[in-house]
Structure 1
Amino acid sequence: MTIALETKGLVKRFGGLQATDNVSFQLQQGARHALIGPNGAGKTTFINLLTGVIKPTAGQIFLEGQDITGLRPELRVQRGLARTFQINQLFPAMTPLETIGLAVSERTGGGRDWWRVTGSRREIIDEIVEIAQRFRLTDVLDEKTSNLAYGKQRLLEIAVAFACRPRVLLLDEPAAGVPEAERHELLATVAALPRDVSVLLIEHDMDLVFSFADRITVMVNGALFTEGTVEEVSTDPRVRAVYLGESVDE
């Protein structure tokens, strides 16, 4: 299979703390891949390294075979790597229509005149409508973001990332804080994205992980602990020991 995203020997040290320890990882093209691990395992640090928020101490990052280790975050987005955050980064006074329009216009060169470009170009309007439909936002397009239900806010944040037309989408706990009734809708929407978008999901809710992912990587203490299919990871006694403190027979 084609590799969409890859790391080789990725290390990050903060002083004497080694946050990631020689992480070599592959995300296959079209995958629905989950990254799990206990608190403090280094998952968010790993995502921050992938997206260029922080620089690695050692190792390399490849996007579709191209070395992006030294690229700034915005250049990685332009190359097709987008993300969401644990805490949403939305503008509360803007509507979903404006927010998605800003993202589409920025990508297509509208820049600071995004409001004028959005209203004057039919293709941008059509793309906003298509994204809103895909992420179930058509009924709230003209509502202030601050007034949206939290599940809708999380869908909007993913929609903004999708508006960048990524080929790799990194989702950092997208269901955190979302009511139970809305979580499965959120992940079902992500799972239904076109397969030319490869998705790496960080999530603590194991039910969501098992229903979403076709492959799971477990990280512990900054290092890759194990990787496999949902069935392999869910039945691995070592993973249960990490999460539940159960003993493992020698």
Structure 2
Amino acid sequence: MTYALETRGLDKHFGGLHVTRDLSLKIAPGARHALIGPNGAGKTTVINQLTGVLEPSAGRILLEGQDITDLPVHKRVLRGLSRTFQINQLYPDLTPLETIGLAVSERLGGGGNWWRRMGTRDDINAEIAETLERFRLLDVMNDRTSTLPYGKQRLLEIAVAIAAKPRVLLLDEPAAGVPEGERKDILAAVAALPRDVTVLLIEHDMDLVFSFADRISVLVSGALLVEGPPDEVARDPQVKAVYLGEAA
């Protein structure tokens, strides 16, 4: 099988601090795969290596069978790898309409003059409208992003990632910090992601993880502890020891 995303012996250390340890992951095409682990397990460091923010100390990263280990961030995006961030990376003074318009125009090669293109091309307008509706942002599409409820900001970041038309999407804790009353929209948006997009989810919310994932990898101290279907992972004594403090 050619995997959608694969790591081989991925290793990262900062001086004497070893953060990722000989990590080999295989994410199948179309998978709903979750990477979980306690605080400090190295999950975000893994994502940063996958996306090119951090250079691995050792190991390789393959996207659809092609080695991307040495590619910069923007070239990985062009190859079909997109992500969201644990802390929003949005333009606070733009509206959701403008933000998604910029993302769509950039993908189509017109990011430098996106403000001229918005409103002049029916195909771009239709995609912006469909994305706003899919992520429940129509009611706030003309509001400045900085004024949006936090749940709406998280939805907007997922919408921007999808506007890049990725084949592999990395979601870094999409529900983090979202008030309980707004979480249902996040859950619905993640559940409704297109099936032709392979998704790797990093999340602490176990309700979201077990309602979404068809396979789970458990990371502890930068190394893979357990991997398998959700029901097997939930019963594993090592996982219980990590999360519940029980004796394995």
- Shorter-chain TM-score bucket reads over 0.9
SS of match in other structure, 2:27: strand
Preserved contact between residue 101 and residue 118 of structure 2 (Cα < 8 Å): yes
Aligned length: 248
Spell out, residue by residue over 1:94-137, the C-alpha distance to the aligned partner (whole angstroms, 9 max, x if none): 10000000011111111221100122111111110111111111
What residue number does 2:217 align with?
217
What is the rounded CA distance, in whole Å, between the counterparts of 1:183 and 1:14 in structure 2?
35
What residue number does 1:239 align with?
239
Misfit runs of 4+, over 2 Å: none
What residue number does 1:207 align with?
207
Spell out, residue by residue over 1:56-114, the C-alpha distance to the aligned partner (whole angstroms, 9 max, x if none): 11110000011000000000000000001111011111100000000111111112211
Matches within 5 A, 1:3-82: 3-82=3-82
SS of match in other structure, 1:225: strand
What residue number does 1:87 align with?
87
What is the rounded CA distance, in whole Å, between the counterparts of 1:65 and 1:141 in structure 2?
38
**Structure 1 residue 184 displacement after superposition:** 3.0
**Structure 1 residue 192 displacement after superposition:** 1.2
What residue number does 2:98 align with?
98
What residue number does 2:196 align with?
196
**What RMSD in Å do the two structures reach over aligned CA positions?**
1.0
What residue number does 1:151 align with?
151
Q: Percent identity?
A: 70
Spell out, residue by residue over 1:28-67, the C-alpha distance to the aligned partner (whole angstroms, 9 max, x if none): 1111111100111110000000000010111100000110
SS of match in other structure, 1:120: coil
What is the rounded CA distance, in whole Å, between the counterparts of 1:177 and 1:40 in structure 2?
18
What is the rounded CA distance, in whole Å, between the counterparts of 1:169 and 1:180 in structure 2?
24
What residue number does 2:142 align with?
142
SS of match in other structure, 1:217: strand
What is the rounded CA distance, in whole Å, between the counterparts of 1:184 and 1:9 in structure 2?
37
TM-score normalised according to structure 1 size: 0.97
What is the rounded CA distance, in whole Å, between the counterparts of 1:169 and 1:182 in structure 2?
22
The residue type paired with residue 126 of structure 1 is A
